[in-house]
Structure 1
Amino acid sequence: MLSIIEQIKQGQLWDFPGGIHPPENKKISNKTPITHAGIPDELVLPLKQHIGTKGDILVAVGDKVLKGQPLTKGGMSMSVPVHAPTSGVITAIEPRTTAHPSGLTDLCIVIQTDGNDTWGSQHKIPDYQEKESGELIDAIRFSGIAGLGGAGFPTGRKIQGSLGLAEILIINAAECEPYITADDRLMRDYAEDVIEGIRILRHILKPKMTIIGIEDNKPEAIKALEQCVTPDDNILIRVIPTKYPSGSSKQLVKILTGREVPTQSRSSAVGVIVQNVGTAFAVKRAIIDGEPLLERVVTLTGEAIKKRGNVFALLGTPISYLLDKYSYKADKKYPRVIIGGSLMGFTLPHPNVPITKITNCILAPKRRELPLYNHEMACIRCSACAEVCPSSLLPQQLQWYAKDEDFDKCEEYNLFDCIECGACAYVCPSEIPLVSYYRQAKAEIYARREEAANAERAKQRFEAKQARFERDKAAREERFKKAADTRRQEMADKGGDDAVAAAIARVKAKQAAATQETDKKPAVAAAIARAKAKQAEAAKAATTDAVPDNSEMAKLREERKRQARERKAAKMAEDAQSASVDATNTPQSSASGDEKKDAVAAAIARAKARKAAQQAQTDSSLDDDEPASEAASTPADAAQSDDPKKAAVAAAIARAKARKAAQQAQADSSLDDAEPASEAASTPADAAQSDDPKKAAVAAAIARAKARKAAQQAQADSSLDDDEPVSDAAQSDDPKKAAVAAAIARAKARKAAQQAQADSSLDDAEPVSEAPSTPADVVQSDDPKKAAVAAAIARAKARKAAKEAQEKNEEK
């Protein structure tokens, strides 16, 4: 059986499943040679233009840079640097919109170009055949070269990972996607440079065979390459049928070698390494010319662009600059600018997006040229997508799982074998954007894997930290133990004792002594136990009986009150004795010297007496529940009233006047008392609890005397005031009404006087049953408590009367 290499040399080709034949639309852009787009005023360079990690920034805002100067430094094998495409000044390092399907921003370095295009240092290796593979790989990596076919995999990392494993080197020149002609024109115009780059790759990898796979729709490029290849190069140009997506790495390996790349693996797993034509050209310029990757060939195509063709565009060139320079005229209804081809490309949110290392085409179609499919409908299960899938997947199932975010099922159905060629979406009659669902699912899975990897790394770092702490702790304890053993040995050799051990022994002895001393205090422990028992009993009693027994505390409180009352009575007796002494010592001339003052005092006393009588009348009227019409107690007075309403009004007016006068009189009389009722005793309870019968009897007698005096004075004043309402009635225009009013007023006055006398007699009678009526009898009383109660009741009534009079005065 012939080997794979022999079969290839005999011209055998294989095929892959699926595939489509869309309109190529290549002739509108491959007729003119490649031109240079020029230097724009501003370049925007994303830090990440490849698969892998970003590099560390080496410049700052305001720095002047030269052409070819590195702007970032790749610290890992999956990171490649970014260089300055031309000379200028760094004006900003900030997020800008990048060429990505998400339309999100990324950190970019902005260069304000100076137009001089001044080169920096260059490192050329013209005699690369004398150099080792490792040195050439480093030169490729430091030149910032990544796969220019669209994937953007770091070339240096790809070559290094295939050393000693690659039997076959395949140069991908198929360029199968419609509209794109960048590789076609590059092979036509720079065939010698492309072949030289392939020779450098052959020198590094040393494969058994090198194959250039190119579709049969590029006859000019095929002819140009054949003219540059020599028999010594051992390079085989293999023309393959035009079929999309034959330019995919896995599909091209299948066509040229018949080998299938395993799931989620690269072509190096089957002994094959694939490099793009543009990548070979960039390797040649990096090794021989000493030029890092600063520019690339970009296809400008679509009916909306008037000057269509291929240009060398500096990395970081805004797409808007290219559109303006090559006469872009947007479609009036659906203006679109697409990066990439019509099948694998994506629409940009705006044209201010920079050219990157993986940008191979800018497509600006018109509405009729490339219809806008945006009316997604339900899947009709026609299986057309599965028939054209070049990876033998089930696009319908993957779309369902991606839409439901069932990412485990997506991986189970080999989502990552999808090359996102867009063939399934191209043939879908329901216009379902299947590739968009796949891209979104892949991005989510990548993000989750990254989070899981970060968590695992954090876990490993934490475990390593804990292990280090344990090791340090064990080592520290070992050192301490070793030092203690050494110290003990030294003390033993010197015949002394270990000071540390002795100190520890002393501390333990002190602790033991303290424990024994505590044990020697049983009395304290017993007291604590008794206290706890009492607390428990009190708590139990509190739960069973809501009212605690405070009899002992009450006895103590009563004893303190009794002592306070005795001290207060003694003080009052001393004050009274001193006042009597002062009265006897006052000269008589001083008392009789001022007759005017005596007259004024008498007048004030008479006025107060009248007011007291009026107050008594008011109280009598307030206590009377009968209406005003019933105030006239005599039949003669009632008979004289012709109009009961007017009589009632007149009676109300009379009652109000009497009430006001009585309140004023009572307030004044309470102010004139030499000894207020409140001073007789603090509270009725205090009087009742007094143990001195003489003092209690005296207080009761004084209170009764004051009550009788007030009643007699009120009665006398009421008799004096009887003429006043009569005179008022005489002055009335209506004699009947005046007579009624006078009768009512006289009746109220009499009733008030009777009520006052009755109150006075009641006050005298109440303590009779409980205490003697005279001070002498009180002194002879055998029950001091009854006398004290009587005195307290009398004082309380006096205070209540004074308080009510004061409140009525305040209301007026």
Structure 2
Amino acid sequence: MLSIIEQIKQGKLWDFHGGIHPAENKTLSNTQPIKTAGIPNELVLPLKQHIGSRGDIIVNIGDHVLKGQPLTQGDIAMCVPIHAPSSGTITAIEQRTTAHPSGLTDLCIVIATDNQDTWCHATQYPDYQDRDPAELIEAIRLAGIAGLGGAGFPTARKLQGGLGNVDILIINAAECEPYITADDRLMQDYADEVIEGVRILRHIIAPKLTLIGIEDNKPEAIKALEACVSEDDNIIIRVIPTKYPSGSSKQLVKLLTGREVPSQARSTSIGVIMQNVGTAFAIKRAIVNGEPLIERVVTLTGEAFKQRGNVFALLGTPIAYLLEKFGYQADKKHPRVIIGGSLMGFTLPHANVPITKITNCILTPKRKELPLHTYEMACIRCSACADVCPSSLLPQQLQWYAKDKNYDKCEEYNLSDCIECGACAYVCPSEIPLVQYYRQAKAEIWERQQDEMSAERARQRFEAKQQRMERDKAERENRFAKAATDRRQNMAASGGDDAVAAAIARVKAKQAAAATETTAPTIKPAVAAAIAKAKARQAASVPETNAEPDNSEMAALRKQRKLQAREQKAAKHAELIQQQQADSDQSPAQNTDKKDAVAAAVARAKARKAAQQAPVNDVTTDTAPVAETNTDVAVDPKKAAVAAAVARAKARKAAQQAPVNDVTTDTAPVAETNTNAAVDPKKAAVAAAVARAKARKAAQQAPVNDTTTDTAPVAETNTDVAVDPKKAAVAAAVARAKARKAAQQAPVNDTTTDTAPVAETNTDVAVDPKKAAVAAAVARAKARKAAQQAPVNDVTTDTAPVAETNTDVAVDPKKAAVAAAVARAKARKAAQQANKVQPNIEEE
């Protein structure tokens, strides 16, 4: 039985499942040689233009770069650098839209070209046959070469994986997709360089057989290749039938070798390695000429182009530049720019997208040339998609699972084996965009796999950390145990005791001694002195047992404010009454009354001023016979305050109800007085209130030192008792209330002021109320002024013989205050009685 290689040499071909034969449309662009696209004003270079990781940027904004200078670098095999396609200045490193079906942005380096196209230093290997394959593979990697057939797999990584494992090298020149002719024109125009690149690959891989697979619809390219291949090269050019997608890696391997690449595996697993024609050409330029991958052949096709053909375009050239330069005329209704062919290409979101290493075609069809289907119908289960699938999959089932986001089922049905050729969508009568569903599902599965891999790496790191910590802990314990054992052995050998045990014993002994110690700790003298001072301060701050806070000052202030308010109210009321009387009376006597009222007001003001200035030292008020009094009774302050408030309320009520006509002020027995003069009760009450307020104010301001209250013959009084301030205050309040009540209730008709027995007086004269009020005010003012100005040291008001009085008592200020309050009450009473004196005198 012949081997596979012998069967291939004899010209045997195999076939793969499915496939289609659509309209080729290659004559639009393969009739003219390759042109140069020129240098645009701006080049946009995405950092990632291949499968794998992107490199690290080694330039900065503002740097001037030369043609062929590397812009990124990487140390791993799956990372290939990018180079400056032309000389210029780096103006930006930013996100730009890239050539991807998603239309998303990626990090790009932007170069503003200077049109000088100045080359940097290049490393060449013209004697590559004498070089080590590993050295050439590293040169290919540094040149940034990736698969130019569309996949973008790093070429150096593929060659490195095939060393020693490959016996067949296949050069893919099928170029099966419609409209694309880049490889066809490259083989026609640069066949010698393509073959030279194949020789370099043969030198690196050292295969048993080298095949160039090319479709039979490229006769000119076949002739050009055959002309460049010699018998010594051991290269076989194999022509295969035109069938889509025969240019796919797995399908071409099946066609040429009959071997089938397993699912989710590469062709190197079955001893076959494949490279594209464009990749072989780029390898030749990198090894022999020292040029990195900075340009590639791009097909410009479609009826919207005026100048169709193939051009050498610098990587990073904006597609908008090519459209403008080669006469693009957009379709009026449906303008489209597609990267790739009509079956595997995708529409760009806009024209400001750069050319990359995997861009092989720009298709600009018109609406009639390539109909645009925008609607999708339900699947009719015709199984046409399954019949043409080159990977022997079930596209209908995959579409259902992808649409339902059941990615586990998608993986179960080998979605990863789909090459996205678009044959299923091409033959679908319901016009379902099957490839779009597959691409989206693949992206989601890839994301999920990345997350799972990240989680697995995190788990492994955590477990490794835990193991490391446990290992370190065990090592520490072993080290401590070994050290303790060695120490005990050394001490036993030297005859000593264990130092640790001895230290523990000493600590226990100290604790026991501290627990059994019963003596109190010695206190330092400074500490004792500080404690004594603190206790002394605390004892001084504690009030005596019977001491109570003295609020007399606050009470006096509150009482003064109340008196002022009453005085102002009474004055306003009196002025109002006087004004009403002035308006109602038009007689000549009215003027006289007004003058008297003014005079009375002036007298009151002067009396007030004199009372505030006159210091009174000793006042004695006597109103009745009082027996010898020794007071040492404790009076409840609350009860006294309540009694005083009740007395004041009753006095006010009686004053308002009782019609008072006249007042008599006396300190002795007074004869009977009958007066029938009608006095206005409101006026009398107002006058009395004003008099009381002024008397209180004058009494509060006068300092009183000694006070004795007497109303009759008083027996010998020896007072040597300390008077309680609360008791004195209560007694004073009671006295004031009784004095007011007596003054308001007594209907007095005639007034006589005397200090001896007064004869009986009968008066039946009608007194004018206005005159009486004025006269009373004048009398009150004069009485106050006389009482306040006289410096009295020991005053006795009496109406009868008084017994001998010996006073050798040291007066307490609190007692004096109480006596002063009593004196003020009696002075008020005397002032009220004096209001009636003047009218009666005038009548007599």
TM bracket (short chain):
0.5 to 0.7
Q: Per the alignment, in what secondary structure is the counterpart of residue 93 of structure 2? A: strand
Relative to 1, partners in 2 of residues 1:496 and 1:568: Cα closer, same or farther, differing over 3 Å?
A: farther
Relative to 1, partners in 2 of residues 1:517 and 1:727: Cα closer, same or farther, differing over 3 Å?
A: same
**1:348, 1:401 → 2: CA distance?**
27
Relative to 1, partners in 2 of residues 1:171 and 1:702: Cα closer, same or farther, differing over 3 Å?
A: same
**1:3, 1:669 → 2: CA distance?**
146
List aligned pairs for 1:375-524, cutoff 5 A.
375-469=375-469, 495=494, 497=496, 502=499, 505-511=502-508, 513-514=510-511, 517-518=514-515
**1:37, 1:269 → 2: CA distance?**
40
Kindly provide the CA deviation profile for residues 479-512 of structure 1, in whole angstroms up to 9, marking residues without a partner as x: 666666777777777x5858xx536632553246
Kindly provide the CA deviation profile for residues 333-380 of structure 1, in whole angstroms up to 9, marking residues without a partner as x: 222211111111111122111111111001111222222222233333
Name 1:339's counterpart in structure 2. Answer: 339
Relative to 1, partners in 2 of residues 1:354 and 1:712: Cα closer, same or farther, differing over 3 Å?
A: same
- Contact residue 655 and residue 745 of structure 2 kept, 8 A: no
1:165 aligns with 2:145: no
**2:348, 2:459 → 1: CA distance?**
40
Relative to 1, partners in 2 of residues 1:726 and 1:23: Cα closer, same or farther, differing over 3 Å?
A: farther
Name 1:7's counterpart in structure 2. Answer: 7
Name 2:138's counterpart in structure 1. Answer: 138
**1:445, 1:186 → 2: CA distance?**
37
**2:549, 2:176 → 1: CA distance?**
124
Relative to 1, partners in 2 of residues 1:100 and 1:716: Cα closer, same or farther, differing over 3 Å?
A: farther
Kindly provide the CA deviation profile for residues 666-699 of structure 1, in whole angstroms up to 9, marking residues without a partner as x: 76676567699xxxxxxxxxxxxxxx99998776
* Residue identity opposite 1:340 in structure 2: G
Give the Å deviation of 1:53. Answer: 0.8
List aligned pairs for 1:636-785, cutoff 5 A.
701-715=731-745
**1:622, 1:150 → 2: CA distance?**
120
* Residue identity opposite 2:506 in structure 1: A
Mean alpha-carbon deviation: is it higher for 406-415 or for 308-317? 406-415
1:101 aligns with 2:124: no
Give the Å deviation of 1:27. Answer: 0.7
**2:159, 2:443 → 1: CA distance?**
26
Q: Per the alignment, in what secondary structure is the counterpart of residue 564 of structure 1? A: coil
Give the Å deviation of 1:412. Answer: 1.3
Kindly provide the CA deviation profile for residues 37-58 of structure 1, in whole angstroms up to 9, marking residues without a partner as x: 1122222221111101111222
- Contact residue 34 and residue 310 of structure 1 kept, 8 A: yes
* Residue identity opposite 1:361 in structure 2: C
- Contact residue 44 and residue 108 of structure 1 kept, 8 A: yes
Q: Per the alignment, in what secondary structure is the counterpart of residue 239 of structure 1? A: strand
Relative to 1, partners in 2 of residues 1:106 and 1:567: Cα closer, same or farther, differing over 3 Å?
A: closer
**1:483, 1:240 → 2: CA distance?**
80
Name 1:18's counterpart in structure 2. Answer: 18
**1:617, 1:327 → 2: CA distance?**
122
Relative to 1, partners in 2 of residues 1:363 and 1:562: Cα closer, same or farther, differing over 3 Å?
A: same
Kindly provide the CA deviation profile for residues 173-195 of structure 1, in whole angstroms up to 9, marking residues without a partner as x: 11111111001111111111112
* Residue identity opposite 1:437 in structure 2: Y
**1:94, 1:725 → 2: CA distance?**
116
* Residue identity opposite 1:144 in structure 2: G
**1:15, 1:489 → 2: CA distance?**
84
* Residue identity opposite 2:434 in structure 1: L
**1:656, 1:433 → 2: CA distance?**
113
- Contact residue 617 and residue 658 of structure 1 kept, 8 A: no
* Percentage of identical aligned residues: 67
List aligned pairs for 1:135-534, cutoff 5 A.
135-469=135-469, 495=494, 497=496, 502=499, 505-511=502-508, 513-514=510-511, 517-518=514-515
Mean alpha-carbon deviation: is it higher for 389-398 or for 264-273? 389-398
Q: Per the alignment, in what secondary structure is the counterpart of residue 547 of structure 2? A: helix
**2:4, 2:22 → 1: CA distance?**
31
Give the Å deviation of 1:414. Answer: 1.1
- Contact residue 615 and residue 666 of structure 1 kept, 8 A: no
Give the Å deviation of 1:256. Answer: 1.8
Relative to 1, partners in 2 of residues 1:655 and 1:56: Cα closer, same or farther, differing over 3 Å?
A: farther
- Contact residue 618 and residue 656 of structure 1 kept, 8 A: no
Give the Å deviation of 1:388. Answer: 2.2
* Residue identity opposite 1:153 in structure 2: F
Corresponding pairs, count: 619
- Contact residue 140 and residue 283 of structure 2 kept, 8 A: yes
Name 1:564's counterpart in structure 2. Answer: 547
Give the Å deviation of 1:78. Answer: 0.6
Q: Per the alignment, in what secondary structure is the counterpart of residue 563 of structure 1? A: coil
Relative to 1, partners in 2 of residues 1:486 and 1:379: Cα closer, same or farther, differing over 3 Å?
A: same
Relative to 1, partners in 2 of residues 1:717 and 1:670: Cα closer, same or farther, differing over 3 Å?
A: farther
**1:327, 1:481 → 2: CA distance?**
87
Unaligned runs of 5+ in 1: 524-558, 573-595, 606-612, 624-653, 677-691, 729-794, 799-812
Q: Per the alignment, in what secondary structure is the counterpart of residue 307 of structure 1? A: coil
Name 1:540's counterpart in structure 2. Answer: none
**1:126, 1:290 → 2: CA distance?**
9
Kindly provide the CA deviation profile for residues 485-543 of structure 1, in whole angstroms up to 9, marking residues without a partner as x: 777777777x5858xx536632553246426744888x9xxxxxxxxxxxxxxxxxxxx
Normalising by structure 2, report the TM-score.
0.65
**1:658, 1:238 → 2: CA distance?**
146
**1:248, 1:661 → 2: CA distance?**
129
Relative to 1, partners in 2 of residues 1:79 and 1:57: Cα closer, same or farther, differing over 3 Å?
A: same
Cα RMSD of the aligned pairs, angstroms, is: 4.4
Relative to 1, partners in 2 of residues 1:166 and 1:663: Cα closer, same or farther, differing over 3 Å?
A: farther
Relative to 1, partners in 2 of residues 1:313 and 1:670: Cα closer, same or farther, differing over 3 Å?
A: same
- Contact residue 655 and residue 744 of structure 2 kept, 8 A: no
Name 1:535's counterpart in structure 2. Answer: none
Relative to 1, partners in 2 of residues 1:428 and 1:616: Cα closer, same or farther, differing over 3 Å?
A: farther
Relative to 1, partners in 2 of residues 1:508 and 1:371: Cα closer, same or farther, differing over 3 Å?
A: farther
Mean alpha-carbon deviation: is it higher for 17-26 or for 301-310? 17-26
* Residue identity opposite 1:275 in structure 2: Q
Q: Per the alignment, in what secondary structure is the counterpart of residue 195 of structure 1? A: helix
Give the Å deviation of 1:83. Answer: 1.7
- Contact residue 45 and residue 110 of structure 1 kept, 8 A: yes
Name 1:51's counterpart in structure 2. Answer: 51
* Residue identity opposite 1:514 in structure 2: Q
Mean alpha-carbon deviation: is it higher for 209-218 or for 177-186? 209-218
* Residue identity opposite 2:607 in structure 1: V
Relative to 1, partners in 2 of residues 1:257 and 1:616: Cα closer, same or farther, differing over 3 Å?
A: same
**2:461, 2:58 → 1: CA distance?**
29
**1:422, 1:658 → 2: CA distance?**
124
- Contact residue 180 and residue 361 of structure 1 kept, 8 A: yes
- Contact residue 98 and residue 354 of structure 2 kept, 8 A: yes
Relative to 1, partners in 2 of residues 1:141 and 1:699: Cα closer, same or farther, differing over 3 Å?
A: closer
**1:314, 1:28 → 2: CA distance?**
23
Mean alpha-carbon deviation: is it higher for 702-711 or for 189-198? 702-711
Name 1:118's counterpart in structure 2. Answer: 118
- Contact residue 651 and residue 741 of structure 2 kept, 8 A: no
Mean alpha-carbon deviation: is it higher for 370-379 or for 300-309? 370-379
Give the Å deviation of 1:282. Answer: 1.1
Name 1:600's counterpart in structure 2. Answer: 607
Normalising by structure 1, report the TM-score.
0.68
- Contact residue 67 and residue 117 of structure 2 kept, 8 A: yes
Relative to 1, partners in 2 of residues 1:666 and 1:36: Cα closer, same or farther, differing over 3 Å?
A: farther
Give the Å deviation of 1:330. Answer: 1.6
**2:609, 2:83 → 1: CA distance?**
122
Unaligned runs of 5+ in 2: 521-541, 556-602, 613-646, 658-679, 703-721, 751-764, 771-821, 826-844
Kindly provide the CA deviation profile for residues 699-728 of structure 1, in whole angstroms up to 9, marking residues without a partner as x: 6654433222121233369999xx999979
Relative to 1, partners in 2 of residues 1:622 and 1:341: Cα closer, same or farther, differing over 3 Å?
A: farther
